[in-house]
A and B are shown apart, each in its own frame.
Chain A
Amino acid sequence: MYAVRQFGNGIFSMNGREWSLLVACLLAIILFSVVSPHYATSGNAATVLRNSVELLLIGLGMTLLLAMGGIDVSIGIVMGLAAIAIGRVLGAGGNPLLALVAGPMVGALLGCVTATVVVLGRVPAIVGTLGLLGVYRTAVFVLLGGQWLSGLPSSLTNLLATTVLGVPVPALVIAIAYLAVWLALRRTPYGLHLLAIGNSEEKARLSGIPVIKTRFMTFVISCVLTGIAATFYVATYRNVEMTIGSTLALDAIAAVILGGTSILGGRCSLIGTVLGVLLLRILQNGLLLIGVPSLWQPVVTGILIIGVLGFEAVSNRFPLVQLLRARA
């Protein structure tokens, strides 16, 4: 169970799980290319990558949360609330720079609310964030007043659709976010504390780790990343609809678990999360192109979660599978 390979702490270290995800991505691409003539185009590749931006940012935060033994099921609606704030700033003709900081700021604020409930209030994370999900969802309805925010000015879009030295801004931001999260996780005391808490909160406390501070910070970091995701969302779609973010938490948890992060905490893979997000988006896009209605997307996500966790439960029960896995 604690094979040494987990300690591949390199920035892009891959283990068996991650290689198989990469293979799964490639297989899916080949399969869809054969079935649909519209699939293997550069335009579609761009669409898949474009659709992955928000989920990549949110997935990084969710990886930290799950690794710590936490979870945030309200994360999609947090993005919705941040997107509304950004939309309002843009709609009022506000400075695009203000719109740029509005997302992370609203994210930080909501992260403090979540952390207050879950960490300071000691409500179990799954229950606390489920409660907040209800509250936030109603807040989205009330703030939007039953109407979409649409036709937002393109000032933010112009700012984020550019390239820096030939690299698209979203790719750059994701690279920076990945590097920052990886450094925090593998190169600072915070990362060690987070993993220790994920292993056992009680032992972490006995070891003299600042458990409350570490947990609080992590919920806030996750929401700030979500606020940045909201900025890209508004820049791309230039509208905010009533159902914004409703499947994001499910997608994020699915991608992170696919990537090899333990739902029980203590173990995580950032590169796995990236590959998990890509696989999820490739499948969702491909199924759409071969004629499966988008209504079915959450079904695919759900089946992936159940499949992965089911497989892990089975492989933990049967020694043979465990043995095979230990050899991997």
Chain B
Amino acid sequence: MTEPFLVARNIAKRFGALTALANVDLEIRSGEVLALLGDNGAGKSTFIKILAGAHPPSDGELVIEGSPVAFSSPKDAASSGIATIFQELALSENLSIAENVFLGRELKRSILGIPFLKRKEMRQRVDGLLKELDAHISDPEAPVGSLSGGQRQAVAICRALNLNARLVIMDEPTAALAVAETRKVLALTRRLAARGCAVVLISHNISEVFEVADRIVVFRRGRKVAERLAAETNHEEVVSLITGAHPDVRALEKPN
């Protein structure tokens, strides 16, 4: 097996006396969809915020392709190739798809010292990305406000790809979507991995996770309690891991 894109070693996060996360070891591989599961407050969100550079870890280290990294802001994480698609997508509804994909990193040419947008090139790049993702959006000039929830997810994914993200973190991408839309976003997630991206998916929907994930990691009370290959586990086992009914988790949580 190839070297993982990112290795998290012994990651911990404390907020004052509260331990939100303890001793998390995790490997994230390129071309693989890794699902993080767990109840509310299990530590999934804290963990992805550390990956995204929004929180510094209290302990432990992150290693990207063999070299340790320390993020002090989301910008640092982005420049290491980590893009996070938050639940409340940071898209501007009044701007077009192409404008959103490039927002903050526009292609421009300088004429008399004034930066002018290369609108045509941006449109063509976005057109290509949309086709590649098979996103079924024909017009990159359409305003994002006119798109459905699933199409907006596709735009956010395009944005991540356009930033040359090597790891895309998706926080509950299907939470607010209708069934057909959910299918499309799940297909997009798979295609993202097929392109060689590492994908971390947070979800509450277990059947959805089984549909797209290669590996499943379960968090419970701030700890990673289990890691399974999706092909080697089943719905029932995962539920028992999340709720703590599984013998492995019981053994782990037994007071000693």
State the A residues within 8 Å of B (CB): 1-4, 6-7, 183, 187-190, 192-193, 195-196, 198-200, 203-204, 206-209, 266-267
Contact = CB atoms under 8 A, between A and B. Distances in A.
A2 to B, nearest CB: 3
B114 interface: yes
B92 A203 contact: yes
A204 to B, nearest CB: 7
Interface residues of B, number: 28
B142 A207 contact: no
B172 interface: no
A207 B116 contact: no
Interface stretch (B12-20, B58-66, B96-104, B129-137): B96-104
Contact of A187 (B92, B94, B116, B143): B116
A189 B115 CA distance: 7
A266 B117 contact: no
Contacts of A6: 94, 143
Given A203-B90, A207-B92, A196 B103 contact: yes
14 contacts: A2-B146, A3-B146, A4-B146, A6-B94, A187-B116, A188-B116, A192-B103, A199-B92, A199-B95, A200-B92, A204-B92, A208-B78, A209-B103, A266-B94
A11 B60 CA distance: 56
A2 B103 contact: no
A252 B216 CA distance: 59
A198 B94 contact: yes
Contact of B115 (A3, A188, A198, A200): A188
A170 to B, nearest CB: 25
Contacts of A183: 116
Contacts of B93: 2, 199, 266
A207 to B, nearest CB: 5
A188 B114 contact: yes
Contacts of A193: 103-104
Interface in B72-107: 74-75, 78, 86, 90-96, 99, 103-106
A270 B245 CA distance: 64
A192 B90 contact: no
A208 B94 contact: no
A190 B104 CA distance: 10
Most chain B beta carbons < 10 A, residue from A6, A188, A189, A190? A189
B141 interface: yes
B145 interface: yes
B250 to A, nearest CB: 41
Interface string B105-122: 110100000111101000
Contacts of B78: 208
Most chain B beta carbons < 10 A, residue from A196, A198, A199? A196
Contacts of A207: 90, 92, 103-104
B92 A195 contact: yes
Contacts of A267: 94
Given A3-B146, A196-B92, A196-B95, 12 more contacts: A2-B94, A4-B143, A4-B146, A7-B141, A7-B143, A187-B117, A188-B117, A189-B117, A192-B95, A199-B95, A200-B92, A204-B92
Interface in B138-196: 141-146
Given A188-B117, A192-B117, A208-B104, A1 B145 contact: yes
A125 to B, nearest CB: 19
A80 to B, nearest CB: 31
A32 B108 CA distance: 49
Contact of A192 (B86, B91, B106): B106
A268 to B, nearest CB: 10
Contacts of B105: 208
Most chain A beta carbons < 10 A, residue from B93, B103, B106, B146? B103
A199 B117 contact: no
Contact of A7 (B92, B96, B103, B104): B96
A248 B75 CA distance: 43
Contacts of B104: 193, 207-209
Contact of B108 (A1, A189, A198): A189
Interface pairs A-B: 3 shortest CB-CB: A2-B145, A208-B104, A206-B90
Given A189-B106, A199-B95, A2 B117 contact: no
Contacts of A188: 108, 114-117
Contacts of A195: 92, 94-95
Contacts of A2: 93-94, 143-146
A52 B141 CA distance: 35
A2 B78 CA distance: 30
B72 to A, nearest CB: 15
Contacts of B108: 188-189
A75 B57 CA distance: 48
Contacts of A196: 92, 94-95, 103
B33 to A, nearest CB: 24
A53 B94 CA distance: 31
Contacts of B86: 206
Nearest to B143: A2
B19 to A, nearest CB: 28
B143 to A, nearest CB: 5
A200 to B, nearest CB: 7
Contacts of A199: 92-95
Contacts of B119: 187
Contacts of B92: 195-196, 199-200, 203-204, 207, 266
